[in-house]
């Protein structure tokens, strides 16, 4: 499934629009909670080598938060990598060209829940 369709599904599922915050990186977007403005996902185009994929060229990834106790087992799944550019103890990078659609949305749902203001207040 192409990336624009996946982005459209994210927008519909969470009733949000991606925010393109950086002029120098026009393809990077954040997805935030409407109430707290906290990020639950970050879309980036990076060199594949930055997350350990052999070869050259750019890939599109989406970064999501996950439970620390699940990170090592999740990283064994095709399309799931240690987080690029932020805290590797709580976040994962998902290669949109490789990751299974159902797993993508399971991980997005979990990231959405983990970054929820209501969860943080408990």
pLDDT above 90: residue 102: yes
**What are the pLDDT digits (tens) for 13-47?**
999 999 999 999 998 999 999 888 899 999 999 88
Domains and CATH numbers, the chain: 3-115 (3.90.1150.30)
**Mean pLDDT over all residues of the chain?**
86
DSSP per position, the chain: --HHHHHHHHHHHHT---B---TT-TT-EEEE-TTT--EEEEEEEEEGGGGT-SSSSEEEEEEEE--GGGHHHHTTSTTEEEPSSS-TTTEEEEETTTS-HHHHHHHHHHHHHHT-HHHHH-
pLDDT at 114: 94
pLDDT at 122: 47
pLDDT above 50: residue 10: yes
What pTM did the predictor assign? 0.86
């Amino acid at each position: 499934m192409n990336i624009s369709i996946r982005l459209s599904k994210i927008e519909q599922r969470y009733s949000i629009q991606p925010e393109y915050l950086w002029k120098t990186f026009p393809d990077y977007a954040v997805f935030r909670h409407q109430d707290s403005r906290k990020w639950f996902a970050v879309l980036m185009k990076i060199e594949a080598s930055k997350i350990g994929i052999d070869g050259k060229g750019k890939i599109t990834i989406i970064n999501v938060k996950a439970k620390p106790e699940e990170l090592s087992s999740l990283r064994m799944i095709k399309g799931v990598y240690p987080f690029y550019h932020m805290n590797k103890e709580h976040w994962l990078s998902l290669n949109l060209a490789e990751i299974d659609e159902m797993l993508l949305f399971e991980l997005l749902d979990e990231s959405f829940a983990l970054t929820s203001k209501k969860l943080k207040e408990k």
